[in-house]
Amino acid sequence: MSTISTQLRTFKEPTKEQLTQLFFSIPPSITARSEKDGLERMEINAVLSLSAEAEEDSYAGKLYLIPPFLSFASLDRKSCRFTLPLCTIRRVERLNARAGIYALSLSLWHGMKIVVQLTSLRPTADLFCSMLRDALKAELQHGQMKAVRNFVKTCYSETLVLSTSPAAEEELEEKTPQEGQEGSPSNDTPYHVGLGLKFKFPGDPKKLREASKVKLWTTYLKTHGRNLTLLRYPQCTRLVQVGLPNRLRGEMWEVLSGSLFLRFSNPGLYEQILEDNKGRTSTSTEDIEKDLHRSLPEYSAYQSEEGISALRRVLQAYSFQNPELGYCQAMNILAAALLIYMSEEQAFWLLEVICDRLLPGYYSTSMHGTLLDQRVFESLVQKCLPIIHDYFQEVDVQLSVASLPWFLSLFINSMPMVFACRIIDCFFCMGPKVLFQVGLAILKINGEELLKIQDDGGFIQLMRSYFASLGNSAHPKSPDPRARAITRFQELLLVSFREFAIITDDTIHNERRKFRSEIVFSIESFSKRAAVRNLKSLERFTKEQAGFIYDALYRAMCVVPPPAPVMTPVPSLISDGNEEKPETRIGLRTFRVFLSEVATWARDEKVIINGFQQRVDREVAEHEFIDRLFYFWDVSCKGALSFQDLVSGLDGVMFNDLMENIEWFFNLHDKNKDGYLTKDEVLTLSESLLFIFRFEIGDAYLGAVSRFMTNAFEYGDALLPQPEEKGEEDDAPLPDIGHNQPYLNLATFRMVVLADEILESFFETDLSACFKLEPVPMMDLPSSNNGFLGDLISNIATDDNKKLFNRFTDRIGQTIGKHQVIHRPAIGRYTKLDEPKARESLLTPSMRQSPSTSPTSATDAAVRVPSPSSVSTSNLSAAEASKISPLSMVKNANDALMERPQFAIDDALDDDGDTDDEFGLGEDDGVMDEVDAFLEAHDSGLTEEQRELAKDLLNAKPVK
Amino acid sequence: MAESGSGAADKSVQVKLVLLGEAAVGKSSIVLRFVSNEFQANKEPTIGAAFLTQKCRLEDRVLRYEIWDTAGQERFHSLAPMYYRNAQAAVVVYDVTKASSLEKAKSWVKELQRQANPNIVIALAGNKLDLVQPSSSSSGATSMPESEDEADDATATPGEAAAPGEQPESLRQVPRDEAEAYAKEAGLLFFETSAKTGEGVVEIFTEIAKKIPIEHILASSRGTGRPGAAGRSGAAQEGGVSLEENGAKGKDACNC
């Protein structure tokens, strides 16, 4: 496992707005465009009625303007709903009805007329209307209205509805079964078709009662709109539950899942993606090739090149579109099933909706969505079927061994195709909760048998034989022929939707939230273990230490995410499958953060005391020295470091003794590795030392570095080969040695270092000791807290707010004179200002006096670096105090608290007040939910009078 | 003792075995060869893991292998522990024509040795041997590594047949010696196999059967009904018991 992903940490709970959008299957990519145009969203209470022809009840609910869509959901969120692209609205009229009634009549593309009565206060309704007008105008400007005409032609429903005179209906009934033998049904059909039309649909059309289903749907689609304008009344859901007719199935999947909108708003993109990536290969395309021939291999289309290449194109296009996810086994099976019923383009967009929205994270590289939902499923089993759950625990059977493929391939791989398709029908219509409901029902129906199994294998086998028997009668021995006619599959659906109706979208949402951090944690620790295990070499570290290095790396990656791992190009010689795996490598910016975690001098730590709190502000240091280290460790010259590079790099410095450290430091600065430092490099080296020592207390280190420079240049000059002994030593000194010429070798460097006690001790222990491998406090996971309060806390305790609070307390601290900032030293050997004596120079006084210009520039360098003691305005004695006794800090804080002026308290209270406000708001929400629930419990929420009114409105004349 | 005989049920020992290895090295093909002695398109795409069973006779004993054939794709890696927990045996497969697959196999071995049942019997199998044997090329079968084991079936893309003049041995990227030396060092059983010709496949399972401390599984599976736990406590005390002893003890255990 050579890639490290921090993606799981970036997860954010969806907002209420996003949840609404999710509910209406509106793709975020489409609304984003309207948001750019500055179109806003709004929701309003409304009563929906449909023109008399359709004979539908009126429903009270909410109308949502989510440009470029208009959506409606009845109060119970399931009886009645629609999602209409604004461009399908041909006409909007304000109705002239009784006083005090505010109603709009909308004429839709397919000729239906719906009336929405806005039941909110008048100004609200006015606002809604004007916003609707703006949004409609914008759509008109984008030319979307024109696009509708051509688009609907690609939908089978158009042909179906238009061609069904009674005579045509009969013909259809006759023809359907033979469709398969007719060969290619002329490729010039205006509408999209799947492979099934040519290669037959699974199942017996007679048995599936295709003809009568088609009839029912035709009637429904005529009066309730179709494709872009489908209005979903209870009848629609019922029809879906008895199974979609094969020829309409593809389109209905698109419509119900909302992928139709993606296809509508991205015309030609699918072909474009394929064209742009022609001939490109990747890990994903390789994986896809391997699986093409084992995706529903029993279906005839996938034994022919036609089917295989369609499958290949769809999967490849998706992997190009979403390279981060790429391709995951099981997607092949999914895509293969989709392609039976829909065209490549349709399947492509539906795949997008599935991977992105319906089964989020299922197929990602960490498969966190899969793992999470398996955990959720287990928890639901524990709640709903405790006996089975307990028994499984007792015999140590893992639910996931069977249920994982159910979820991952939407039962396609588990059940006969005809049944799986019907579950998928419901899945697209009612959402992901269906998978959980069906899963629970399977366990419940097999409850008795399940309590006899002994191990995972027995579980799998029981499930297998159950799935094989789905077509059998559920009550074979019943005397009632009608009961006998009920298949086990029908029983399954019945149990799923009756007994497990308690499983709602909210249930799933809440359960996911509950277990997300647990799953993320286990994935992360798993990949950490794997990463450490897969290191080519641990060097001299223990596994635990390598784990700390990993933690630091991980944390750094969270702060500064590195670019996505790239494939290293394959060397042509060993091109045969010997490619390197993509590997996570970090760039310089991430490296700085990493180093700041492990090396004390690579961070600027300020201890801040402001009377309220004592905190340590840590910032990542930037210095040429750190960059130098980065390239020094980049042994493979990739401009980026892998985990292994970091481990090996740290190994090179953390276990060194005095001599090794001196050599290491020397090599680090010897850029061309010729064994000599140039004069410039000596200066750089000195600057590196000054950087490391920048926060040390006292002048000792500064002195040491300046002595080092003096000695280095004196010694270097003295030891130079002197062929050009023309002038005397007091001549212009050594003009021949350029700044880039070899100047100081290791032996000399070593001698100069050893001449100084401070440097000696630095190289002996401190340099290595500056690298500290400690448990890195891991950042909190987003929303690891449960429930409402947890939300609140995570809302408040964001980094930004913390910073705000810190700034606030700092300001108060400053006003009350308690504000102190102390830089924490990297080494901290000296806590007092006394300066140790320098060792005698190795050189004789006469040599020492030899004039040299270079040292001057060196001292310049030293001067440029501010002396450590003057860096901050901090009070050094306080620093000592804080080191020695943290208790005194507490005392300080307490003192400050007592002295605190009144306004500070007020402000603090204000802070609390905000909290309460938010709390209150949330509670209101809760109340509203209850009201909703109450209303739901009391029918559609319409009084007889309102119903009358709604009927009246249908016949009302428009104003002007 | 006939497998179908009534006595067989008594004496059949259940052994959980898991197959691991990089994608497309031929795990599923090995299982298929062992279970149904076929080589063909994969009827069961591996999602998570495919589950198959097969009986295997050893002396007077019948072993019932419960085989978990795991998905090879890297992202399924984190699911693997679910399948190898409680396993008494593992076959780690690599592809002799692909050096990187041995590296992956080694990392699986490491993981198993650390995380799995401590007494797990691990076999290392270098598959696709037919690709590097001169005899196989004469059969005229398609021999492209890609179209081999995993993808090979009736619909294999035409035109993918190996160039006839190609030296088979040149496809080999993992020398037998090297892999064998590694296996010895890591304490693994070692085989080179061809799921296509069947060479070496059954041997894997019989050798594993010999090495598994059957009587412990038998004894404790009667007690607890949990063969996994049994294996763990079982061989901890006596490591390499010889097969004869095994058989004898097992028999005694049965008769009492």
Chain A within 8 Å of B254 (Cβ-Cβ)? no
Name residues whose C-beta falls within 8 Å of residue A707's C-beta, 6 or more positions apart in sequence: A755, A756, A838, A841
Please check whether residue B46 touches A, CB under 8 A. Answer: yes
- CATH code at B23? 3.40.50.300
What's the pLDDT score for residue A257?
Answer: 96
Domain at A8-153: CATH code:
2.30.29.30
SS (H, E, C) A568-635: CCCCHHHCCCCCCCCECEECHHHHHHHHHHHEHHHEEEEEEECCCCEEEEEEECCCHHHHHHHHHHCC
- Chain A residues within 8 A of B41 when measuring between CB atoms: 293-294, 297
Helix (H, G, I), strand (E, B) or coil at A294: coil
- Is any Cβ of chain A less than 8 angstroms from the Cβ of B74? yes
Q: Which of B97, B23, B18 is nearest to B65 (CA)?
A: B18
Question: CB contact, 8 Å: B83 with chain A?
Answer: yes
Helix (H, G, I), strand (E, B) or coil at A62: strand
B contact test, residue of A2, A8, A293 with most B CBs within 10 A:
A293
* Beta carbons of A413 and B71 less than 8 Å apart: no
Q: Whose CA is closest to A90, among A37, A156, A139?
A: A139
Question: Taking a C-beta distance cutoff of 8 angstroms, is the pair A17, A376 a contact?
Answer: no
Tokens of A538: 């641990």
Provide CB contacts within 8 A for A920, sequence distance 6+.
none
Measure in Å the smallest separation between the Cα of B165 and chain A Cα atoms. Answer: 18
- Residue B69: list chain A partners with CB under 8 A: none
Closest to B41 (Cβ–Cβ): which among A293, A461, A579? A293
| Nearest C-alpha neighbor of A409 from the set A303, A283, A247, A295 | A295
- Separation of alpha carbons A486 and A95, rounded Å: 49
Residue B145, pLDDT score = 42
**Residue-wise pLDDT tens digits, A280-318:** 999 899 889 988 988 898 899 999 999 999 999 999 999
Please give the structure tokens belonging to residue A170: 């009969």
For A460, nearest residue in chain B (alpha carbons): B51
Q: Cis omega (within 30 of 0) on the bond before A68?
A: yes
Find chain A residues with C-beta within 8 A of B146's C-beta: 289-290
To the nearest whole Å, the CA of A404 is away from the closest chain B CA by 7
Cβ-defined contacts of A13-17 (< 8 Å, 24+): A13/A513, A13/A782, A13/A783, A13/A791, A17/A41
Q: Does the beta-carbon distance from B78 to A401 stay under 8 Å?
A: no
Which three-class secondary structure state does DSSP give residue B237? coil
- pLDDT of A95 reads 84
What does the pLDDT read at residue A66? 94
State the pLDDT at residue B48.
84
Top residue of A3, A199, A291 to mutate, by most chain B CBs within 10 Å, is: A291
| CB spacing of B51 vs A578 below 8 angstroms | no
The neighbouring-strand residues paired with B90 are B18, B122
Q: Report yes or no on B159 lying in a domain.
A: no
Q: How many inter-chain contacts (A to B, CB under 8 Å) are there?
A: 133
SS3 assignment, position A920: helix
**Minimal-distance CA residue of chain B relative to A367:** B75
pLDDT at residue number A925: 47
- Say yes or no for a CB contact (<8 Å) between B97 and A576: yes
Domains in chain B, number: 1
Mutate to test the interface with A, among B79, B85, B94, B170 (most CBs of A within 10 A): B79
Instruction: State the Cα–Cα distance between residues A632 and A649, nearest whole angstrom.
Output: 8
Q: What is the C-alpha to C-alpha distance for residues A331 and A353, in angstroms, rounded to an integer?
A: 13
- Residues of chain A in contact with residue B52, where contact means CB-CB under 8 angstroms, are none
Residue whose token pair is 């996994």: B228
Residue (of A207, A198, A261, A199) closest to A229 by Cα position: A261
Contact assignment for A413 to B83 by CB distance below 8 Å? no
Range of the domain at B72: 6-154+165-255
The pTM assigned to this predicted structure is 0.76
Which regions in chain A score pLDDT beneath 50? 1, 165-186, 567-580, 724-735, 782-787, 790, 835-836, 838, 840-890, 893-894, 896-925, 927-928, 931, 934-935, 937-939, 960
What is the length of chain B?
A: 256
pLDDT digits (tens, 9 = 90+) for B2-31: 344 444 445 678 899 999 999 888 898 899
Inter-helix orientation angle A624-633/A643-654, to 10°: 110
Instruction: Measure A368 CA to nearest chain B CA, in Å.
Output: 10
Q: Is the CATH number of domain A367-503 1.10.579.10?
A: no
Q: What is the Cα–Cα distance from A161 to A112, expressed in whole angstroms? A: 14
Position A36 scores a pLDDT of 84
Per-residue model confidence as pLDDT tens digits over A740-783: 677 888 888 998 889 888 888 889 888 888 888 877 665 555 44
Mutation target vs B (from A311, A329, A373, A461; most B CBs, 10 A cutoff): A329
Considering the domain boundaries, does residue B110 fall inside one? yes
Q: Which of A234, A243, A191 is nearest to A212 (CA)?
A: A243
- Say which residues have a Cβ less than 8 Å from residue A889's Cβ, sequence separation at least 6: A609, A614, A881, A882
Indicate the fold that domain A189-359 takes in CATH: Helicase, Ruva Protein; domain 3 (1.10.8)
**Chain A residues with CB inside 8 Å of B157's CB?**
305
pLDDT at A732: 44
Question: Smallest Cα–Cα separation from A762: which of A671, A645, A868, A662?
Answer: A662
Distance (Å, rounded) from C-alpha A130 to C-alpha A122? 12
Provide the 10 A C-beta neighbour count for residue B32. Answer: 24
- The answer to whether the CB of A617 falls within 8 A of the CB of A606 is yes
The reply to whether B35 touches chain A by the CB within 8 Å rule is no
Cα distance between residue A237 and residue A913, in whole Å? 47
A897's tokens: 């608290």
Does residue A657 sit at the B interface (CB-CB below 8 Å)?
A: no
Residue B160 falls inside a structural domain = no
Interface of B with A in 116-175 (CB under 8 A): 145-146, 150-151, 153-157, 171, 173
Report which residue type is found at B196. Answer: K
ipTM for the complex?
0.75
pLDDT at A321: 94
Q: Domain limits of chain A?
A: 8-153, 189-359, 367-503
B4 contacts chain A (CB < 8 A) = no
Instruction: Please name which of A67, A23, A74, A41 lies closest in space to residue A950, comparing C-alpha atoms.
Output: A74
Across the interface, do A329 and B66 touch by the CB < 8 Å criterion? Answer: no
Can you read off the two tokens belonging to residue A304? 């022919």
CB interface of B with A, residues 213-252, below 8 Å:
225-229
All residues of chain A having their beta carbon less than 8 Å from the beta carbon of residue B73 are: 287, 328-329
From CA B152, how far away is CA B161, in angstroms rounded? 11
- Across the interface, do A330 and B227 touch by the CB < 8 Å criterion? no
Q: Quick check: helix, strand or coil at residue B56?
A: strand
Handedness of CA B143, B146, B151, B157 (dihedral sign): negative
In chain A, the largest separation of any two C-alpha atoms, in whole Å, equals: 125
The reply to whether residue A303 touches residue B83, judged by beta carbons under 8 angstroms, is: no
Asked if residue A342 lies in contact with residue A251, where contact means CB atoms within 8 angstroms, the answer is yes
Q: What is the DSSP letter of A54?
A: G
Alpha carbons A496 and A265: distance in angstroms, whole number: 35
Inter-chain touch B73–A287, beta carbons under 8 Å: yes
Residues of A in contact with B89 (CB under 8 A): none
Instruction: Give percent of chain B above pLDDT 90.
Output: 37
For chain B, how many helices (H) and strands (E)? 10, 6
CA distance B67 to chain A (A): 9
